[in-house]
């Protein structure tokens, strides 16, 4: 009796494997996750183990529909192990969330049950039934409305109240999210006072480019919860941030360039679970304070205007109007995105910002709409960099203290020179404790300082002391002003601290000679 039962189990497991091979194309993702794709919709991947939405659950349902009997748990487990082995023999494939690119053509998964895909190619967009890529849908993947053949993106401004100068920046961020999947994306930041519809605006933007049943997320508690929150959707929107702690700042930066996490797989001792992603991030808040310089370089900031009381509408009315206008706005956005996508093939900008790919999209938007968004974006980026420097007490003090060029200064030298003396001064919490922390601060803030005209380089510890030594020049115009002031008023000469050696013989050289010295 026991042998017959064992034979039945194997028979059911084998039938499940055959059913899966007949119905699905098996494969494995770049992260090592086995999946199947229905042969009638090969562009939609289904993970083998994904709960109720997984391939295992679908097999159990199909088995009952075809046989009228229920496949036992052991038979499903045995079949799943076999399918995992078969999938592992396939070449790893990239599974895309919402957006994909193949041979210069962009594809957008509409998330609809009919499997429709939007294709952007040669300056036009169209709706097709399948695509030469594989999309992965999660519990956070909702359906897009089917856009009509024509629409008007300007309808967006009936719902989003921003300055005219910020419109091309916002449009470029939305377009980049629709046509670029394997490049860094800026962190879109919506900051405004209370009553400016920050949450509603953020939800509308998510509805437009990556609709989800839960459009907004609470700020994560730690780096691991951030990975969990961000792994399931292409656009991640964090609502009502009051501060950006260092770990979250680093996580947002990594999400722009390609974040990831590795940990032990559930219920195993040796296997690893790998989560790797690049995301489009939207954040909103009233005031998060000064952001760290690496995040400031990756941020596209938009100011929302306050909505006057007489202009406010009930939430239900606003949502109804929005859903009615959404298909036409999406159609207009796709038309603009297709034009931009086509122009990117030949567009070149001379002075690219830190987010170079986004800068090209923004420059193309400016060409199409005759706007000046790139200048607006770079200006705000410089403002954010200035704020990030002023927000760190040591770097702010260093900028005030260093008035003439310095050479061969260790972190300890700078720590001693910049730290104020006297009992009246109280050390801020963020103040570095030693030279090593000074070096860490300088490395983090050096790009922002250079953007404001500072020369800041280290020698890689290639010196007889085997200590990292810094060369720091303030902006050349500051030195020139100081020299002129000292020449006219000798009494105004600022005494040089004994712990800092000022390179007087280099200060009067032209900028090109000073840079030659640095490269040497």
**DSSP-assigned states of every residue in 481-507:** HHHHHHHH-GGGPPPPPTT--B-HHHH
Core vs surface per residue 301-318: b (16+ CB within 10 A) or e: bbbbeeeeeeeeeeeeee
Paired residues of 14 in beta bridges: none
- Could you tell me which residues come within 8 angstroms of residue 78 by beta carbon, excluding any fewer than 6 positions away? 9, 10, 13
252 HSE (CA, 13 A, CB side) = 29
- 441: closest CA among 253, 308, 293, 328? 293
DSSP string covering 306-357: PPPGGG---HHHHHHHHHHHHHHHHHHHHHHHHHHHHHTTT---SS--SSHH
Residue ranges of the chain with per-residue pLDDT less than 50: 1-4, 7, 9, 264-271, 481-483, 485-486, 488-520
CA-closest candidate to residue 278, choices 294, 256, 261: 256
8 Å CB contact between 472 and 454: yes
217, 239 contact by CB (below 8 A): yes
Please list the residue range(s) of the chain that carry CATH number 3.40.50. 153-388
Predicted confidence at residue 342, as pLDDT, reads 96
**In contact, 421 and 499? CB cutoff 8 Å:** no
**Residue 217 DSSP one-character state:** B
d(Cα 77, Cα 237) in Å, to the nearest integer?
37
Burial of 420 (0-12, 13-18, 19+ CB in 10 A): exposed
DSSP tag of 162: B
506: CB partners within 8 A, 6+ apart: 405, 407, 514, 517
DSSP 239-307: -S-S---HHHHHHHHHHHH-EEEEEEPTT-SS-EEEEEE--EEEEEES---SPPHHHHTTEEEEEBPPP
Match domain 153-388 to its CATH number in 3.30.1380, 3.40.50, 3.90.700, 2.40.128: 3.40.50
Residue 477 has a pLDDT of: 59
Q: Which residue has the tokens 């803030």?
A: 445
Spatial distance between the Cα atoms of 458 and 471, rounded to a whole number of angstroms: 6
Residue 340's closest CA among 321, 317, 314, 367?
Answer: 367
pTM: 0.82
Q: What are phi and psi of 300, to 5 degrees?
A: -110, 110
Q: Which residues pair with 134 in a beta bridge?
A: 95
Nearest to 208 by CA among 362, 331, 368: 331
pLDDT of the residue at 452: 84
């Amino acid at each position: 009796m026991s042998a017959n039962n064992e034979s039945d189990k194997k028979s059911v497991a084998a039938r499940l494997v055959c059913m899966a091979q007949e119905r699905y194309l098996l494969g494995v993702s770049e992260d090592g996750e086995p999946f199947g794709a229905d042969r009638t919709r090969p562009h939609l991947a289904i993970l083998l183990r994904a709960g109720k939405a997984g391939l295992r659950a679908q097999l159990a349902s199909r088995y009952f529909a075809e046989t009228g009997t229920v496949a036992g748990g052991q038979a499903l487990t045995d079949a799943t192990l076999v399918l995992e082995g078969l999938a592992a023999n396939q070449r790893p494939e990239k599974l895309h969330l919402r957006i994909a690119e193949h041979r210069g053509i962009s594809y957008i998964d509409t998330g609809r049950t009919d499997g429709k895909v939007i294709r952007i190619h040669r300056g036009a967009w169209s709706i097709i039934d399948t695509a030469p890529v594989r999309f992965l849908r999660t519990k956070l993947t909702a359906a897009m409305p089917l856009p009509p053949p024509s629409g008007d993106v300007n309808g967006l401004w009936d719902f989003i109240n921003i300055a005219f100068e910020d419109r091309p920046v916002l449009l470029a961020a939305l377009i980049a999210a629709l046509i670029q999947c394997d490049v860094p994306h800026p962190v879109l930041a919506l900051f405004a006072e209370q009553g400016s519809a920050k949450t509603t605006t953020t939800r509308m933007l998510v509805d437009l480019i990556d609709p989800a049943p839960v459009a907004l997320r609470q700020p994560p508690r730690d780096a691991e919860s951030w990975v969990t929150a961000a792994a399931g959707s292409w656009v991640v929107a964090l609502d009502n941030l009051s501060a950006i702690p260092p770990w979250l700042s680093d996580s947002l930066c990594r999400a722009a360039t390609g974040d990831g996490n590795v940990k032990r797989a559930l219920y195993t001792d040796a296997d690893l679970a790998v989560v790797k992603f690049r995301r489009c991030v939207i954040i909103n808040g009233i005031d998060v304070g000064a952001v760290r310089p690496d995040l400031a370089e990756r941020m596209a900031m938009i100011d929302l205007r306050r909505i006057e009381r007489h202009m406010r509408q009930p939430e239900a009315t606003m949502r109804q109007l929005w859903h009615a206008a959404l298909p036409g706005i999406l159609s207009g956005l796709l038309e603009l995105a297709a034009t931009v996508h086509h122009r990117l093939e030949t567009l070149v900008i001379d002075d690219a910002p830190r987010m170079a790919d986004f800068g090209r999209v923004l420059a193309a938007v400016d060409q199409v709409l005759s706007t000046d968004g790139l200048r607006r974006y770079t200006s705000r980026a410089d403002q954010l960099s200035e704020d990030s420097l002023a927000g760190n007490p040591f770097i702010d003090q260093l900028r005030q203290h260093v008035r003439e060029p310095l050479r061969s200064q260790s972190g300890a030298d700078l720590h001693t020179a910049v730290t104020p003396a006297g009992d009246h001064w109280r050390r801020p919490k963020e103040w570095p404790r030693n030279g090593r922390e000074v070096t860490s601060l300088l490395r983090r803030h050096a790009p922002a300082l250079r953007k404001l005209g500072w020369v800041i380089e280290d020698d890689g510890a290639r010196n007889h002391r085997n200590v990292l030594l810094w060369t720091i020049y303030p902006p050349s115009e500051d030195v020139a002003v100081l020299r002129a002031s000292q020449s006219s008023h000798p009494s105004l000469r600022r005494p040089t601290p004994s712990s800092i050696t000022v390179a007087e013989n280099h200060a009067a050289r032209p900028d090109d000679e000073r840079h030659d010295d640095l490269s040497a």
